[in-house]
Amino acid sequence: MSGASTQTKFSFTGRWLPELGDSVRAFLSFKYWATSDLGIGLDYRPLTDELDPTLTYRLVTEDAAGWRPAVIFGTSVDDFTFRGEAVSSRSYFATISKAFPQQKFWQITPAPYAGLVWIDELNELRPIAGLNLLHEQVSLLVQFSGTDTHLTLTKRLSSNLSVSAIYWRLRDVGVALQMSF
């Protein structure tokens, strides 16, 4: 979720990570945006038949022209690595994020975020952070999930459709499809 409001009512994401365990390998997420700041959805893991609720709430919307960052809270069941093992766990997060002005030399818009995540399975509060680098219709997201670092290269095909190449835990390759309508 970005720090800026959108007019999208529904979003769908599908992810495939063929080298990982059943709970992580296939993942589907559907979210309904009841308001521009409140998203309510379901995440489904078809290989383990797990269905989990997800909630995202943007408390503060980013000021695109000024310095005010977005403040976002949420919960979902996420995938982590703990002591070398994959763990799916309910997590609760809070982040602040801000897109900065486009850098003229590279034509890149940097958008960092930072926050905290509580991971139920680990019974721990951990830092999370990331940096999205947007160049026209392509973006690179570097993110630390609290236990792992991931890279996602996304190509926007239209205003409502994008595809991504994922480098999960900097070891495993996967793909994702995102749609909004």
104 φψ region: left (φ > 0), alpha (ψ -120 to 50), beta (else): alpha
Q: Which residues pair with 163 in a beta bridge?
A: 155, 177
Q: Which of 53, 2, 5, 9 is nearest to 29 (CA)?
A: 53
> Quick check: 93 pLDDT over 70?
yes
Q: What's the pTM?
A: 0.90
* Per-residue pLDDT tens digits for 46-67: 999 999 999 999 999 999 888 9
pLDDT digits (tens, 9 = 90+) for 100-157: 998 888 899 999 999 999 999 999 999 999 999 999 999 999 999 999 999 999 999 9
With residues binned 3-state (H G I as helix, E B as strand, rest as coil), the percentages for the chain, rounded to 5, are 0, 65, 30
Domain ranges of the chain: 10-175
Whole-angstrom distance, CA of residue 79 vs CA of residue 65: 35
